[in-house]
Every structure is written in structure tokens, then in C-alpha cells.
Amino acid sequence: MNTSTTVAANPARAGQTPALELAVGPGDHVIALMSSRRDVDVLAPYLRHVAPTTQPGVIVAGPGQRAEAFEAVESAALDIPSAALYAHDPLIMGMNDGWFDSEQFLARTKTEVDRLIDRGATRVYHCGVMRWIIDAAVPDDECIYLEARINQQIEGSCMSGFCVYDVRYIGSHLLVQLLRTHPKVMLDDRIVENPFYERPERVIAELGRAP
């Protein structure tokens, strides 16, 4: 694994000071990096950013995450009916003949988002507990491609994405690339601009891939 990759702040954002807490808007894609907290203790602060006037739908992606999803929603004091709360297994949705297929996963996720919208959701919050990336030995490049493609898929939509990574289990190369693929980051339960973010088209081109 290449561990020598470095990343510079995006010049367009380099002058920004991430001091103000931001709202979670449609099309936002946020990363949280943790090392010791429970998943639910990271999900709940994020979900508190859900505007109380919206009709939210929540999808929590991660094997065996349904109980944690309900606990996070309860802790965030959100009034979300069970029909608007999903928990799905990304590996079941994305595995294709023994390998993880990002496009298959994104297509099936879109189907779930559309179902929530049909049930009345005006905003959909997709929360990924990303341990499954490590457990399934998904290659770094596929993980980076997936995160960049998420930016393209949710741009201009009513969906927001939130990804929780445990830094104890990811290499430095992947960590750098994850910062390039999330326009916002959660620090100490506050959501701020990420100066290292780069447009997904550039990241995907560097991978030699096309959607």
C-alpha cells in the first residue's frame, strides 16, 4: 500500500477557516473520523442537524446496524416513523460475483431513496458506518471511487450522505483520499467545510475510471 501520498488544500478553499458550524443541506456529503466512540455516538450528533420542519427519511448502511439506527434516531430526538428508517447491508447490495460493485450499490441505494420519497420523505439522510469496507477487504481504489461517485449521485438531490470511518483500521493513503472526496467534515460534533475536498471528476479521472 502506498503510504507516501500527500494532499494540499484546495486553492479555492484554502483561505477558509473552518470555524462556523454548518447546516446539513441537500447534496451534502460529510465524513466523520473516529477512533474510540460507538457508532451511535457519532450518528446521533449528525442526525441532530436534521431540520425539524422536514419530513426526513434515514438509511443507515452497515451490517447489523438496525438497532444502532433506532438508538441514534431516539438519541437525536427525531420523530421518524419506522417506515422512514432503513438499515441495509452494503455488502449484500453491492457484492457481484465476489467483488464489490460500486455502481450496483449506488443503483440499489437510489431505489431505496426513491421508495422513501414515495412515502413522503422530503429529505433523505444516508449514514454509512464504513467498517464493512475493512471487513470485506474492499480495495482502496474502489472505496475512493465509491465516495467520489456518491458526490455525483447526490448533487442536486434531496439526499445527504454521512460516512463514519474508524481511523484505527484505515491506511494513510486511504485517509488522504477520503478527505479529498468529502466536502464537509464533522469535528467535535460540528460540521465544517473541508479545505481538502476536490471535485469528483478529478478524483475519478486519476483512478482511470469512468462512471
- Of the chain, the percentage scoring pLDDT greater than 90 comes to 34
Region of residue 24 (left: phi > 0; alpha: psi -120 to 50; beta: else):
beta
Q: What is the mean pLDDT of each run of 10 residues along the chain (211 residues)?
A: 37 41 81 81 77 69 69 70 73 87 93 88 87 89 96 92 90 94 88 94 92 67
Q: Are strands 184-187 and 190-193 parallel, antiparallel or unpaired?
A: antiparallel
* pLDDT at residue 39, as a whole number: 74
Domain boundaries defined on the chain:
29-206
* pLDDT at residue 3, as a whole number: 34
87, 69 in Cβ contact below 8 A?
yes
* pLDDT at residue 95, as a whole number: 87
Superfamily of domain 29-206: P-loop containing nucleotide triphosphate hydrolases (3.40.50.300)
How far apart are alpha carbons 141 and 177 in whole angstroms? 9
* pLDDT at residue 12, as a whole number: 44
pTM score of the predicted model: 0.82
Segment holding 178, helix H or strand E: helix 172-180
